[in-house]
Chain A
Amino acid sequence: MHAPDGFLEPSVAIITAVIALVAVSAGVRYAGRELGDRQVPLAGVAAAFIFAAQMVNFPVAAGTTGHLLGGALAAVLLGPWVGMLVVSVVVIVQAVLFADGGLTALGYNTINMAIVTAFGGWAAFVVLRKLMPRTSAGVVGAGAVAAGISVVLSAAAFSIEWLFGASAPVAFDTVFGAMVGVHVLIGIGEAVITGLVLSAVMASRSDLVRGAAHLSDDELNATSRVGFRPFVIGSVCAAVVVGVVVSQFAASNPDGLERVAIDNGFEESATDHALDSSWFSDYATAGISNESVSLAVAGVAGICITLLVGGGVVSASRSTRRRQTA
């Protein structure tokens, strides 16, 4: 998600930079109000934690790994303002010191990876925790699902920026479908990991979890514990449901447009059958129907490439490690 320089048009880069600047300075102020003079050490060390947590590789399936993005986790642990500030700092440091994400892309990268994930994740969390039992497990479950949603929101935010500042002739529908589709999968991983990290923190220092501040001691100790396996199965089911709903929503639009275009194309080629121009109308339909097919192909190819490259790298590093230790 660390977009490089020139990925979106300069106008979008400037507008998003201004928005990000305002949000981050508001974050500094509100976080300062919350943390007082503890702000510098606590936010600094929390940012280092998010940075380190992003380096932890989690297994996904035979040899494939994923890592935490952490925006929603930071918001649930530290509150939305501190969480947003902390993840913004991580994004800024990655761009300035590690060349990871372009300097002119800092505006939209900060919005997508810090602001949308922290506030979107927090909003989802606040709604979800009302639906869940008032227990530790309820907070963990709400945090997990909110983390999954935050990743999808981040992908949607990127697609919307693409709508305004696309640097390539790829339709919004295509980008939206592909980004959201892939990120539903990433979101499942994010949800599982966030839930597990949260439950570990809740088990030892629930007083540190900002999102559990509304619970009394009795509610924290209530033993309506959800087992690990039911939790994973439940969250995967929820993600699949969300995925199906979102993809329907994403797919309905291009479907409609394409149907119209195809109908027109058919009409033209039917009436002007003898003319050369029908050749062109054929082409137009071919081009458009091709786009939807190629969207699917691109999506599947992307997933395959990721799986293959990830699997290859991991198995390679695995075998060298084995050899070194042997």
Chain B
Amino acid sequence: MPGDSRMHRLSPEAKLVAVVAVVVVIAMTPRRETVAFALYALGAWAIIATTKIGLLTYLKRLSVIIPFVMFALIVPFIGGGESVYVLGVSLSVDGLWATWNILAKAGLGATMSIALSATTPVPELLHGMTRLKVPRLLVAIIAFMLRYIDVLVEQLGRMRRSMVARGHDPRWLWQVKPIASSAGALFVRSYERGERVHQAMLARGYTGVMPTVSEQRASTKEWLAVLLCPFGAALVLTVAVV
């Protein structure tokens, strides 16, 4: 996502390490340390605020955790152990804590991921991963995937439009065949595209390893600034537990 906030300008590898570290600290926090979670939330929202992505975008991207939140909401009704009565309904106390645990950790974890992905252009993130010694083959595969997702999704869209133009409107499982066939055709086309791209790469001197463009590494100052977040979170956790 384009933008020019302080978060956008930070080096990608520093951001990636910091976000992973913060999420690990959050995931390790015992569920009953509500004050710690409140402090994390303040910190996470402060970070989201500095990214200037807007509340609506943030909430939209946060919605991916909804399926598991639904599960979390069922837990107090089916959980065992000691129970409390709320409006005449028996709820498991441990189950309520579990709901809180999942909601808090999933929400905070997703918030941090959003702060990272919303402020880091994909190529930069991939360069950052290379500099963090993520295997280059893996990074190259991810880069290719991201490069071709849009191409393939558009191709699918074209196939779908042409089917709709011919009166295709499936509603039931037994009408599924044309869509599945188009997915099969998409696989063949993708594979052939991969082969063509490979030949084009060979023609341009590809040796099996992607060349890396040297870019500025994160400065020590940047590392220090960014790692304040996980250290802060770890401090909160230590104070809360001790």
Residues of A that sit less than 8 Å from B by CB: 2-7, 10, 13, 24-25, 28, 32, 36-49, 51-53, 55-56, 58-63, 68, 77, 85, 89-90, 92-93, 95-100, 102-105, 167-171, 174, 189, 192-193, 196-201, 203-205, 208, 228-229, 232, 287, 291, 294-295, 298, 301-302, 305
Query: A4, B172: Cβ atoms under 8 Å?
Result: no
Besides the known contacts A48-B151, A169-B81, A208-B191, 12 further A-B residue pairs in the complex with CB atoms under 8 A apart: A47-B145, A52-B156, A53-B186, A55-B156, A56-B179, A59-B176, A62-B172, A77-B187, A95-B113, A199-B184, A200-B182, A294-B78
Interfacial chain A residues near B151, Cβ < 8 Å:
48
The listed residue with most A CB atoms (<10 A of its CB), out of B61, B109, B147, is B109
Query: B145, A93: Cβ atoms under 8 Å?
Result: yes
Query: A96, B125: Cβ atoms under 8 Å?
Result: yes
Interfacial chain A residues near B80, Cβ < 8 Å:
169-171, 287, 291
Given A52-B156, A103-B113, A196 and B181 touching (CB < 8 A)? yes
In-complex Cβ contact of A28 among B138, B149, B183 (8 A): B138
Residues of B that sit less than 8 Å from A by CB: 19-20, 23-24, 26-28, 31, 61-62, 64-65, 67-68, 70, 72, 74-75, 77-81, 83, 92, 94-95, 98-99, 101-102, 104-106, 108-110, 112-114, 116-117, 122, 125, 135, 137-138, 140-149, 151-153, 155-156, 170-177, 179-188, 190-191, 193-195, 197-198, 201-202, 206-208, 210
In-complex Cβ contact of A104 among B27, B92, B187 (8 A): B27
In-complex Cβ contact of B156 among A56, A171, A294, A302 (8 A): A56
Give the Cβ gap from B118 to chain A, nearest Cβ, in Å: 9
Interface SS of A by simple majority = helix
Query: A28, B135: Cβ atoms under 8 Å?
Result: yes
Interface SS of B by simple majority = helix
Chain A residue nearest to B193 in the complex (CB): A45
Interfacial chain A residues near B208, Cβ < 8 Å:
36-37, 39-40
Interfacial chain A residues near B31, Cβ < 8 Å:
167
Complex CA distance for A203 and B181, rounded to whole angstroms: 10
In-complex Cβ contact of A102 among B23, B75, B83 (8 A): B23
Query: A168, B101: Cβ atoms under 8 Å?
Result: yes
Query: B109, A102: Cβ atoms under 8 Å?
Result: yes
In-complex Cβ contact of A10 among B27, B72, B171 (8 A): B27
Given A52-B153, A104-B109, A171-B80, A200 and B23 touching (CB < 8 A)? no
